[in-house]
Amino acid sequence: MSIIKLSLKWSMLIALILFMFISSDQSVLAKKQKTLGGEKNGCLALNYHRVREDTWIDKLLSAFSNSKELKIYSVTDTQFESHIKWLKGKNAQFLSLDEFIHYKEKGKFPKNCVWLNFDDMDQSIYENAFPIMKKYDVQGTGFVITDHVGDPDFHNIRMSPKKELLKMKNSGLWDFASHTHDMHTMKKDKSKLVLYAEKGNIKQDIDKSTDYIKDELDGNEQAIAYPYGQANDKLIKQLDNDTSIKYGFTLEEKAVVPDSDNFYIPRVMVSDDAFNKLVKKWEGFNHE
């Protein structure tokens, strides 16, 4: 009898181990199956925030810090260049904002479509990303917080002055659109833009921003990147009815397809980890 009980215990233990192994394997498989979609007719809207200089101090900070600024909201210039080189190796077709909108409205994106875009426009983009983009001759779009152009300390970040933005524009590689005038703050997990939309009071800010974009930077006054990627239907109704905005960009791990809602166009926020796990696995680069 004791032998039978012992045998049953071992059988149960083996079954439990097998169950845990299978469950773990299925979990890993589920993670591996996560894709951006849009393989047959899509475009990757790749969003960057900061491009840091790759120094030994930066490496030290990155090794011992879990800061979101370092891990999620920024990449080093070395990483950024490796991203561009990889995309060029996949024959990526880099679009301007106007080209991106044109193809979306047309209903057909070019093969291997990529649209690079950058939020905030702090000086790390001018100093570290812009030279790499010139080197590889790739286009990009900057979403500008217009009331803070040239601000030396916006949330501890140095923002590019107008002369740098114009130099980027005049290179023929850059265009610009709105990231609001002065609504890039967060309160209780909601952006200032969303909070003001609840009170019906966003028109003045958006008009100031789009006027600056059009008049000072010869940019696109119909597009906005929502601060923190946040938007809701109440905000969008006001943007559509009361401002020049017709295209709004969120942050979401999806490829853009022609049917994507024009006010909820997804952009993939790029860290080095996200690039390796999502962008490199996008089947759109392998689709015939």
pLDDT in tens, 122-147: 999 999 999 999 999 999 999 999 99
Give me the domain span that covers residue 55.
34-285
- 88 lies in some domain: yes
- By the 8 A CB rule, do 252 and 230 touch? no
- 240 lies in some domain: yes
- 192 lies in some domain: yes
Number of domains in the chain: 1
- 146 lies in some domain: yes
- By the 8 A CB rule, do 160 and 149 touch? yes
Report residue 233 as tokens.
Answer: 């239907």
Residue type, 103: Y
Distance, CA of 282 to CA of 261 (rounded, Å): 21
pLDDT in tens, 105-124: 999 999 999 999 999 999 99
- 1 lies in some domain: no
Q: Give me the CATH number covering residue 213.
A: 3.20.20.370
Predicted confidence band at 55 (pLDDT cuts at 50, 70, 90)?
confident
Top pLDDT among 241 and 12 is at 241
Predicted confidence band at 29 (pLDDT cuts at 50, 70, 90)?
very low
Distance, CA of 48 to CA of 117 (rounded, Å): 6
pLDDT in tens, 217-240: 999 999 999 999 999 999 999 999
Report residue 95 as tokens.
Answer: 């679009």
Report residue 242 as tokens.
Answer: 């009361």
pLDDT in tens, 169-184: 999 999 999 999 999 9
What is the per-residue pLDDT for 26? 36
- 97 lies in some domain: yes
Distance, CA of 135 to CA of 131 (rounded, Å): 6
Predicted confidence band at 5 (pLDDT cuts at 50, 70, 90)?
very low
DSSP summary character for residue 232: -
- 3 lies in some domain: no
- 238 lies in some domain: yes
What is the per-residue pLDDT for 6? 45
What is the per-residue pLDDT for 78? 98
On average, the pLDDT of the chain sits at 88
